[in-house]
Amino acid sequence: MPYVEKGMQVGLFGGSFNPPHAGHSLVAEIALRKLALDQLWWIVTPGNPLKSTRELAPLAERIRLSEKITRNPRIKVTAFEASHHIRYTADTLALIRAKNPGVDFVWIMGADSLRDFHHWQRWRQIAMTFPIAVIDRPGATLSFLSSVVAKTFDYARVDEGDAPILAHMRAPAWTFIHGPRSLLSSTAIRQAAKK
């Protein structure tokens, strides 16, 4: 895990990053700015349990490409889940909390992920561990309101204007952050590479 100090606000941005692209970088930069983060951990996962690993590039390659496109020194590319043999986000967050007392974390996800979030293992536990910042993504702006998670935790939604203090809030707490959106997707990039 990257080095942090007590009192820091740190964003947790996990994904397969297969491959990483400018859309991921845009989400990271928006999160850093809007959430007033000291750091953002770009967590390259060994693999998403909900996705096929048939087209998954090797972890080392995805780390290398992630480091290549992340220019901000506050973005820390890491793949600690692999060394801890972690497959599920709930376990990742539990480990982070145990190893980093006194640090304020925010889980960051794209609005497209929120749509399927209720299929994640122990999704309620994830929402109760750290506050969540949902970053707008093309085609997902309105669908987030009808998601199972948005309905379940409607009472815990925080105004976007309070995003800079979200990390200090007790979970469950979440906000939706608007901003520039990128049409890039890892799936589209992989499909274009096959042609």
> In this predicted structure, what is the pLDDT of residue 4?
97
Q: What is the DSSP string of the chain?
A: -----TT-EEEEEEE--SS--HHHHHHHHHHHHHTT-SEEEEEE-S--TTS-STTPPPHHHHHHHHHHH---TTEEEE-HHHHTT--SHHHHHHHHHHH-TT-EEEEEEEHHHHTTGGGSTTHHHHHHHS-EEEEP-TT-TTGGGGSHHHHHTGGGB--GGGGGGGGGSPSS-EEEE--------HHHHHHHHH-
Identify the pLDDT of residue 52. Answer: 64
pLDDT score recorded for residue 139: 59
Query: What's the confidence (pLDDT) of residue 156?
Result: 96
- In sequence order, the 6+-apart residues with CB closer than 8 A to the CB of 68 are none
> Taking the chain (195 residues) in consecutive chunks of 10 residues, what is each chunk's mean pLDDT?
96 94 92 97 84 82 96 96 93 97 95 85 96 81 74 95 97 88 48 53
What is the pLDDT at residue 189? Answer: 45
- pLDDT in the model for residue 116: 85
pLDDT (0 to 100) of residue 54: 76
Note the pLDDT of residue 186. 44
